[in-house]
Every structure is written in structure tokens, then in C-alpha cells.
Amino acid sequence: MAFIALPLLIAFVYTLYHAVTNKNLTTYQRSLWILIIVLGSLLGWLLYWAIGKNGDARTRQRGNAA
């Protein structure tokens, strides 16, 4: 059981650390992602890595292109 629990704990802590220190997120986005990660369990982690880690970088890129 420890072979499964320890890697999941490490992944959780790293994901939470990344969300807290991510410079691409606004304060509101950071707070929201922390809640999603903590309350959403594995699904919250996956959502953060799939769509949340870039924050509003897409908006900034569109603004520069226009």
C-alpha cells in the first residue's frame, strides 16, 4: 500500500506547490486552483496539469497577436 500512497502524496504536494508558485496565474486563479486541487483529488490534479498550469498565458498571447 505504501508503494501507491507515497507517489500519490508526492504528486499531490508537487502539484500544490506548483500551483502556489506559478507566476502565470492571477491571485484569483491561484486560489481557485488550490481549492480544485485539494478538494478534487486526482481529478483536480489532472485538470490543473491539463488546463490550469498556463493560467492566463493564452490570453496574453492573443493580446500580443492582435
- What is the pLDDT at residue 52? 85
Quick one: cell of 35?
481549492
CA dist 52 and 64 (Å) reads: 20
Count of other CB atoms within 10 angstroms of residue 38: 14
Quick one: cell of 34?
488550490
- What is the pLDDT at residue 58? 53
pLDDT digits (tens, 9 = 90+) for 8-56: 999 999 999 999 999 989 999 999 999 999 999 899 999 999 998 887 6
